[in-house]
Amino acid sequence: MASVKQLVRSFAEEALDDPDRKGCFVTNAAIESLPHDLEAARRVDTGIGGLEAAILGALVRAQDQGELGPDKDPRSLAHFLITFIQGIRVIAKRPDRHRLTDAVNHALSLLD
């Protein structure tokens, strides 16, 4: 569970520490090229899908180890977290430390 929480926090910190505000290739491609560019769509799906699968695997392991409650749905949480991370990447174009910190803390409270 600690690795999932750290991953989410790291995306927010990365957004805040990017002086060029260049953002993420996957997110930028999604915003700029979809839905018209099928090759970009494939690459976006691959990038997002791989990260979501890793998050899901970590959440399933956390649930198996008793770190994530049995009432929590790992797949639904993985869907939420990947969507939330992409939102962080969009906000990274004009980040606000207070906004991101509040949002990350709230999102991570769903894992408790």
Burial class (CB in 10 A: 0-12, 13-18, 19+), 21: exposed
Using the predicted structure, report yes or no on whether residue 49 has a pLDDT greater than 80.
Answer: yes
pLDDT at 26 over 90: no
The CA-atom distances, in angstroms, between 84 and each of 12, 49, 77, 104 are 10, 14, 10, 9
Lowest average pLDDT, out of 6-15, 54-63, 91-100, 102-111, goes to: 91-100
- CATH code for position 34: 1.10.357.10
What's the whole-number mean pLDDT along residues 89-112?
Answer: 91
What pLDDT is recorded for position 44?
A: 85
Q: Could you tell me the residue range of the domain that residue 73 belongs to?
A: 2-109
